[in-house]
Amino acid sequence: KKRVLSGIQPSGKLHLGNYLGAIKQHLDSQAQADWDRYFFIANYHSLTTLPDAAELRERTLDVARTYLALGLDPEKSLLFMQTDVPEVCELAWILTCFAPMGLLQRCTSYKDKVARGLSANHGLFAYPVLQAADILIYDSHLVPVGSDQKQHVEVCRDLAIKVNQTYGELLVVPDPVIKEDVAVIPGTDGQKMSKSYHNTIELFATKKQLKKQIMSIVTDSKGLEEPKDPDTCNVFRLYHFFANADEIAEMAQKYRAGGFGYGHAKLALFEKVDAFLEPYRDRYNHLLEHPDEVMDVLRQGAKEARKTAIETTRRVREAVGFINH
Ligand code: ATP
Ligand code: MG
């Protein structure tokens, strides 16, 4: 069986970028009966940037709630917290001993975060190694991610290949799965939408917040009457993910004709996104009131996932010369 694995950080409220770039593919893959699916909440990773216990706890549960509300089916997919499988930290240590400094120094995600003013602790620097352990410990074949994670999956492959060259075929070398049209969803400031960049359109914000976030999308300064180019406009870009072909064509025509302002376009986008989310809100609110239901899913997921992790860890420990007994 092919195993699909993907993780998501509880570093903030999940957003349209996470949904279109990752979560949607994760949920759609549930139609594939012949795949194993492992989805985890990367709370070890979030400690690199979030030293606030109450907030980390809340955001962790919120990621689970969001997945469950959007349609994660625990019968078809495992959903679990990274910290429920602490073996992954041991594998990360082993991999770290195979990770050249230069390889990690080249990682753009780290460089971008530092450039944005995030303080660079060793965890943030070593993040791709822990991520490699996340993938390798479950013998994952496929890793569906947004293109920002492409380089990290490359690092993972490099490390797996290096370990295999040293000890023989030990680890499954995974492939990233990147859907090009949703590879980088822009945020309200036009940069990659990211929890840590404060430029997100959240999935389960209140309607009022949702509207506010959408209205804050940056556009060029063309006036109401001027014709506009839909192909360079992020409002249009987001609209096209939620509208049908006729609506998209109609919107493009309005842009080109003039007399249609960005405010109008944003309102139309708000209505589409709001209508898309509406059916999921009840379930989300229900889970908000019933954390026990969320915990049950996470506990069950961890139990299964950990079995695989313990097997892999034993195999790797044996191979590198640690004495299992
Ligand atoms: P952080 O700012 O903490 O890195 P993030 O918003 O980038 O958070 P991650 O948890 O790093 O989210 O990523 C979760 C998944 O969502 C990954 O598969 C990632 O590739 C995908 N993803 C994140 N942002 C986008 C985006 N703007 N467009 C497409 N996919 C995205
Ligand atoms: Mg990210």
269: tokens are 């986008």
What is the ipTM metric for this complex?
Answer: 0.97
| Mean pLDDT of all residues belonging to the chain | 95
* Placement of tokens 């989310």 in the chain: 277
Tell me what the mean pLDDT of segment 256-267 comes to: 96
Distance 325 CA to ligand 2 centre (A): 39
Regarding the beta carbon of 184 and ligand 1, being less than 6 Å apart is answered yes
Residue 2 in 3-state DSSP?
strand
Whether residue 209 sits in one domain with residue 62:
no
Domain match, 236 and 303 both = no
> How far is Cα 164 from Cα 158, in angstroms, rounded to an integer?
10
With respect to residue 170, please indicate whether it lies within any of the assigned structural domains.
yes
> What number does the ligand 1 atom closest to the CA of 147 have?
20
Residue 190 counted as domain residue: no
What is the Cα–Cα distance from 268 to 138, expressed in whole angstroms? Answer: 43
190 assigned to a ligand binding site? no
- Residue 319 φ then ψ, to 5°: -65, -40
- Asked if residue 199 belongs to a domain, the reply is no
292 is in an annotated binding site: no
* Domain extent for 61: 2-185+291-320
Q: Dihedral sign, CA of 174, 195, 8, 129?
A: positive
Phi/psi zone of residue 155: left (φ > 0), alpha (ψ -120 to 50 degrees), beta? alpha
Q: In this structure, what token pair is assigned to residue 44?
A: 């070890």
Q: Is the pLDDT of residue 152 over 90?
A: yes
What's the pLDDT score for residue 222?
A: 94
Question: Greater confidence, 110 or 45?
Answer: 45
CATH code where residue 264 lies: 1.10.240.10
Measured in angstroms, how far is the CA atom of residue 95 from the centroid of ligand 1? 24
For the whole model, what pTM was predicted? 0.93
Any domain includes 325: no
Kindly state whether residues 280 and 155 are assigned to the same domain. Answer: no
Q: Which residues are catalytic?
A: 113, 192, 195
The pLDDT tens digits of the residues spanning 186-233 come to: 999 999 999 888 999 999 999 999 999 999 999 999 999 999 999 999
Rg (CA), the chain: 21
Q: Is 171 a member of any domain?
A: yes
Can you tell me the distance from the alpha carbon of 291 to that of 272, in angstroms, rounded to the nearest whole number? 29
- Cα(84)–Cα(86) distance, integer angstroms: 6
Q: From CA 267, how far away is CA 235, in angstroms rounded?
A: 10
241 and 295: one domain?
no
Q: For residues 217 and 299, state if they share a domain.
A: no
Beta-carbon contacts of 45 under 8 Å, excluding residues fewer than 6 positions away, are 7, 9, 11, 82, 127, 130, 131
Residue 142 belongs to domain with CATH number = 3.40.50.620
Domain match, 54 and 162 both: yes
64: Cα separation from own chain's centroid: 12
Give how many domains the chain has, as a whole number: 2
Q: Looking at the structure, do residues 129 and 63 belong to the same domain, yes or no?
A: yes
Same domain, 42 and 180: yes
Q: What is the dihedral of CA 136, 63, 54, 288, to 10 degrees?
A: -150
